[in-house]
Every structure is written in structure tokens, then in C-alpha cells.
């Protein structure tokens, strides 16, 4: 696996207060399961469809309709659990969480309170300084999403879109092992990366397909260690839950501002009340939404329409056997097999499509050179035009060929940039560009020698100067490169200039 120092979390200490305070954060991430159909109905999950067009009778809460579980959602949840090194529970069950919501016509949400499908797991979060923290996962359960109420289309009416109603969500609950805003963002990013590799959630935060409830509390130094030793929550401060965050930046800002609010309260002799809050990005503040509800407020009970879910170990094993290579393993392999630096390997494995592209470029070639071209030239160019790798005008085979031409000495790195540009804008193949445009590097000593002789003969004064001060030989190298249109092999030019000047 990765060569990382496991580090105990570094608490973020908030400066400027009377006392030192540390942050404690636990996240409940809601990830929309990537499936075609909803958790208990055959309606489509397609995003952006005409409002209320993806609604089955079950989703609309029509009388007499019964939920039927979608096996695809179950296997995705199992796959996710396995990808997070988690316990898979062969027995799980669905419960009703009762509340009124205009966008959930059943009048309750089907969730898994008492017997979640996935138990304890872990996520290794790299913090970019060669250190990694292990964030423990408490559980993952399956539940239905709600629809969407729309209040800003009409001054007198509200509208409801039930397309999302009943779509399967995985709620991934972490232990409070996260100690600062940056760690929280790094955790969500890592979780998102793993889910995308697994293909169990598309991780699209803008569409709300991945969102987080962020639990924040503060404590005095030493308290967290007591919690870790005993797992007794009473050593920690009272938490507030900030609902429905779907931006990495806002997650960080919200944690910071919420921690400051709690510190101000405690230092003022007041108390933090456990409650659900909302973050307002315009004012950069959190506001109370409702007081904390308890499980019994929802009158949870086992859903009588659904039998407990029992799955077979063999089935779990077959899902496990088919798991793809995950980010940590891929990164370690890139470092080992292609000799990449840690940072480059991280960049190349951040998205699966990037990793696949890179591997095609690097196969059988110089891995470091390939990484350099993919990251600096291709990614740089794509970013400029806001393109992703999927719509790269340069194919992996073409970039690989270009890297091959550099390595074999057919073209210099400098000429390669011109070839790349032509390939990027026209789609022509590098080998053909080099041949047709006469861009092949001149390594033929005779031709280079002639150019060197000519420049030496034409510049006697410069020759005298260079003999007195060998550093000035660079001027001749530059002139030869210019005379040959940048195509001369720089190594050969250097050697010949030095020899001819008798340096």
C-alpha cells in the first residue's frame, strides 16, 4: 500500500479566543446511488427530466401501492461498503421514519435505522504532506430521497417536483474523527473519488447527488484524547448539525464560522444547544433551522410492507471479486511501476478517466516523461478551454506516439510542443506532422558541423571573446539552433561548438 505516516489527527486550534479550542467534526454524507431505477419503484432516476415525469404510483404515495426493492441498489450499497473496507451485514431491515413533507407523499421516509446494510469501515484521507488520517465509518444505510418543493416560480403558489422522490441514497456516517475544515473537505473528496471509481455514485455535487450534513463541536485540548480512549461522547462538546452542504468550499467556511460561534457562546458563559442549522453563504453565518429531533420523535418502526433483507455471503464475495482497482492501490502502482513522484501519481489518479488515459500514454514508454506531458501539457491545455479528458482532441495513442518520438530523439522537447499544438488543433498524428512539416531533429553531425563552421567563420570577434570566457560559447549554440530552425540535437551542438572553439 501507500508509504504514508499514519498520523493522529491534527486538531485545528482556533486562534484569537480566550482559551485554546479544538474542533471535532463528524459527517453524514448522502450519496445518490448510481442506478437506473429508484429504490422501491421502477421509475427512472434521470436528472433534469421534465418535472413529475419520473414518478411511479409508489413514489406518489397512491393507496394500495407496495414498495418492491431494487436489487441493483442493494448491490451498489454492498459494493460501496466493500470499497470502504467495511463490514457487510447479511441481515438488514427497513424502517419508517414518519414526518410530513410535501415532497414525500407517503408521509414517511423508508430508511434503515436499526439494521443498516453496512457496518464499520474506514477511509484513508491523505493530507498532502505525506501524512494520512484514518477516518472511521460508523455505518452506511440505504434510504429514500425526497422530492423538491419550488417556491420561487409563482407569488401565490408553491410547486412540487417528485422526480427525486424515492431515489436511493446511501447515508455514509463517519465517526467524529475529523479535526478541521481542510480535513473535512479532504475526506469528502476522498469519499467521492472512491465512489466514482466504484461506479456507485456519480459524485456530482452541483446536482445534489453528493451532499453532507456536517456535525461540528468544539472542546478544550485533551478532551478528544479522552473520547478516543473511551469512545464516550460525554468528553466532547455539544454538536450542531449543518444540513445539506454541497460545496467543498462552503463546507470549510461553514465549519469555521460555526466553530467561532460556539466558542463565542462558551466564552460568554452560555451553552451550545444541540440543533440543526443552515449555512448562509451570502452572510457567511449559520442559522438555527430546528431544534434537534430524537429518533423517537419520528416514531420509527419496521416497515410492514418490506421483509427484512437477507443476502448471501456468496453474492457478497462475487461483488468483492469484481471490485475495480481503487485509488490508493492505483496510486501506489503508478509510483512503483512508472517511477512517478507522489504528487504526480495523485494528480493522475484523482479521476479514473485520467488514470486510464495516462496508462495508455505510458504503456511501454518512459513513465515520468509521459506523466510530465499528460499533466503539464495536456491537462494544462484542456483546463484553459474548460475541457475534460473525455473530450481531449489529442488521443492517448497520439500523445503516446509523441512521447515516443521525444524519447527516441526524433524530436526535441521544444519541437514536441509545436507538434503537440498542431495535433491538438487539427487532430493530425504526431509522426505524420513531424514527417510532413520536416520537424525531425537533426542529429546528423555533418549537417550540424557545417552550421557551426559557418557561424564561427562569420563571427571572429565573438570567437575571441568565447575563448577568453568559455561561458560565452552558449551564444554560438543559440545561433546554431536558430540557423537549424530549432531542429538540431542540442547535445550534439554543444559538443561540436566546444570542440571547434577548442574549449
Which residues make up the interface to ligand ADP (CB under 6 A)? 24-28, 173-176, 215-217, 233, 236-237, 239
Q: Which is nearer to ligand ADP, 25 or 473 (CB)?
A: 25
Q: Which is nearer to ligand ADP, 73 or 236 (CB)?
A: 236
Query: Residue 219 in contact with residue 235, Cβ under 8 Å?
Result: yes
Q: Which is nearer to ligand ADP, 203 or 237 (CB)?
A: 237
User: Which residues have C-beta within 8 Å of that of residue 157, sequence separation ≥ 6?
Assistant: none
Q: Which is nearer to ligand ADP, 92 or 217 (CB)?
A: 217
**CA distance to 115, 139, 141, per residue, from 110 (Å):** 13, 17, 11
Closest approach, Cβ 141 to ligand ADP, in A, equals 10
Q: Which is nearer to ligand ADP, 231 or 408 (CB)?
A: 231
Q: Which of 452, 439, 453 is nearest to 481 (CA)?
A: 452
Q: Which is nearer to ligand ADP, 184 or 496 (CB)?
A: 184
Q: Which is nearer to ligand ADP, 27 or 254 (CB)?
A: 27
Closest approach, Cβ 381 to ligand ADP, in A, equals 41
Closest approach, Cβ 29 to ligand ADP, in A, equals 9
Residue recorded with cell 423508508: 110
Q: Which is nearer to ligand ADP, 250 or 476 (CB)?
A: 250
Closest approach, Cβ 110 to ligand ADP, in A, equals 17
Closest approach, Cβ 318 to ligand ADP, in A, equals 31
Q: Is 213 exposed, middle or buried (0-12, 13-18, 19+ CB in 10 A)?
A: middle
Radius of gyration of the chain (CA): 30
Position with the least CB separation from ligand ADP? 26
Query: What's the CA gap between 330 and 389, in Å, rounded?
Result: 18
Query: What's the CA gap between 477 and 499, in Å, rounded?
Result: 12
Q: Which is nearer to ligand ADP, 214 or 406 (CB)?
A: 214
- DSSP per-residue codes, 434-500: HHHTT---B--HHHHHHHHHHHHHH-HHHHHHHHH-GGGHHHHHHHHHHHTTT-B-HHHHHHHHHHH
Closest approach, Cβ 173 to ligand ADP, in A, equals 5
Closest approach, Cβ 144 to ligand ADP, in A, equals 17
Around 99, how many Cα atoms within 13 Å sit in the side-chain half-sphere?
13
Query: Residue 256 in contact with residue 240, Cβ under 8 Å?
Result: no
Q: Is 18 exposed, middle or buried (0-12, 13-18, 19+ CB in 10 A)?
A: exposed
3-class secondary-structure state, position 424: helix
Rounded to 5 degrees, what are φ and ψ at 187? Answer: -65, -50
Query: What's the CA gap between 109 and 298, in Å, rounded?
Result: 10
3-class secondary-structure state, position 37: strand
Closest approach, Cβ 20 to ligand ADP, in A, equals 17
Query: Residue 7 in contact with residue 133, Cβ under 8 Å?
Result: yes
Angle, CA 187 vertex, CA 186 and CA 191 arms, to 5°: 115
Q: Which is nearer to ligand ADP, 24 or 340 (CB)?
A: 24
For 429, the enclosing helix (H) or strand (E) is none
Closest approach, Cβ 63 to ligand ADP, in A, equals 32
Q: Which is nearer to ligand ADP, 232 or 437 (CB)?
A: 232
Amino acid at each position: 500500500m501507500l508509504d504514508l505516516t499514519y498520523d493522529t489527527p491534527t486538531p485545528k486550534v482556533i486562534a484569537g479566543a480566550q482559551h485554546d479550542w479544538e474542533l471535532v467534526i463528524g459527517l453524514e454524507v448522502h450519496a445518490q446511488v448510481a442506478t437506473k431505477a429508484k429504490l422501491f419503484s421502477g421509475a427512472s432516476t434521470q436528472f433534469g427530466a421534465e418535472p413529475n415525469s419520473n414518478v411511479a404510483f409508489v413514489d406518489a404515495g397512491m393507496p394500495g401501492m407496495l414498495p418492491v426493492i431494487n436489487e441493483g441498489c442493494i448491490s451498489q450499497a454492498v459494493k460501496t461498503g466493500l470499497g470502504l473496507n467495511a463490514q457487510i451485514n447479511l441481515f438488514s431491515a427497513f424502517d419508517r421514519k414518519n414526518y410530513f413533507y410535501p415532497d414525500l407523499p407517503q408521509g414517511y421516509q423508508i430508511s434503515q435505522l436499526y439494521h443498516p446494510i453496512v457496518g464499520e469501515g474506514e477511509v484513508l484521507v491523505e493530507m498532502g504532506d505525506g501524512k494520512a488520517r484514518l477516518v472511521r465509518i460508523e455505518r452506511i444505510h440505504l434510504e429514500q430521497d425526497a422530492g423538491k418543493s419550488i417556491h420561487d416560480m409563482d407569488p401565490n403558489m408553491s410547486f412540487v417536483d417528485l422526480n427525486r422522490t424515492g431515489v436511493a441514497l446511501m447515508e455514509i456516517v463517519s465517526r467524529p474523527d475529523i479535526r478541521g475544515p481542510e480535513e473535512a473537505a479532504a475526506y469528502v473528496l476522498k469519499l467521492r473519488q472512491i465512489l466514482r471509481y466504484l461506479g456507485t455514485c456519480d459524485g456530482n455535487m452541483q446536482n445534489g447527488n453528493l451532499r453532507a450534513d456536517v456535525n461540528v463541536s468544539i472542546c478544550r485540548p485533551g478532551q478528544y484524547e479522552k473520547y478516543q480512549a473511551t469512545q464516550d461522547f460525554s468528553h466532547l462538546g455539544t454538536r450542531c448539525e449543518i444540513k445539506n452542504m454541497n460545496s467543498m468550499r462552503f463546507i470549510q467556511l461553514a465549519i469555521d464560522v460555526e466553530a467561532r460561534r460556539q466558542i463565542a457562546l462558551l466564552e460568554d458563559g452560555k451553552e451550545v444547544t444541540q440543533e440543526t442549522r443552515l449555512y448562509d453563504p451570502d452572510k457567511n453565518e449559520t442559522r438555527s433551522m430546528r431544534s434537534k429531533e430524537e429518533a423517537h420523535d419520528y416514531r420509527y418502526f419496521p416497515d410492514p410492507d418490506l421483509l427484512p433483507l437477507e443476502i448471501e455471503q456468496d453474492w457478497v464475495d462475487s461483488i468483492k471479486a469484481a471490485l475495480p482497482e481503487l485509488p490508493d492501490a492505483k496510486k501506489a502502482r503508478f509510483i512503483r511501476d512508472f517511477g512517478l513522484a507522489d504528487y504526480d501519481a495523485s494528480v493522475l489518479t484523482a479521476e479514473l478517466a485520467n488514470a486510464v488515459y495516462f496508462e495508455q500514454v505510458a504503456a511501454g514508454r518512459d513513465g515520468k516523461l509521459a506523466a510530465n506531458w499528460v499533466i503539464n501539457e495536456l491537462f494544462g491545455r484542456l483546463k484553459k478551454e474548460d475541457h475534460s479528458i473525455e473530450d481531449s482532441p489529442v488521443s492517448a495513442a497520439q500523445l503516446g506516439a509523441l512521447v515516443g518520438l521525444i524519447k527516441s530523439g526524433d524530436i526535441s522537447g521544444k519541437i514536441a510542443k509545436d507538434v503537440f499544438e498542431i495535433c491538438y488543433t487539427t487532430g493530425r498524428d504526431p509522426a505524420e506532422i513531424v514527417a510532413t512539416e520536416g520537424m525531425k531533429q537533426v542529429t546528423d553531425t555533418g549537417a550540424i558541423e557545417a552550421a557551426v563552421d559557418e557561424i564561427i567563420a562569420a563571427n571572429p570577434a565573438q570567437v575571441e571573446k568565447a575563448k577568453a570566457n568559455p561561458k560565452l560559447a552558449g551564444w554560438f549554440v543559440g545561433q546554431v539552433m536558430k540557423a537549424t530552425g530549432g531542429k538540431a540535437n542540442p547535445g550534439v551542438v554543444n559538443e561540436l561548438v566546444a570542440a571547434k572553439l577548442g574549449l
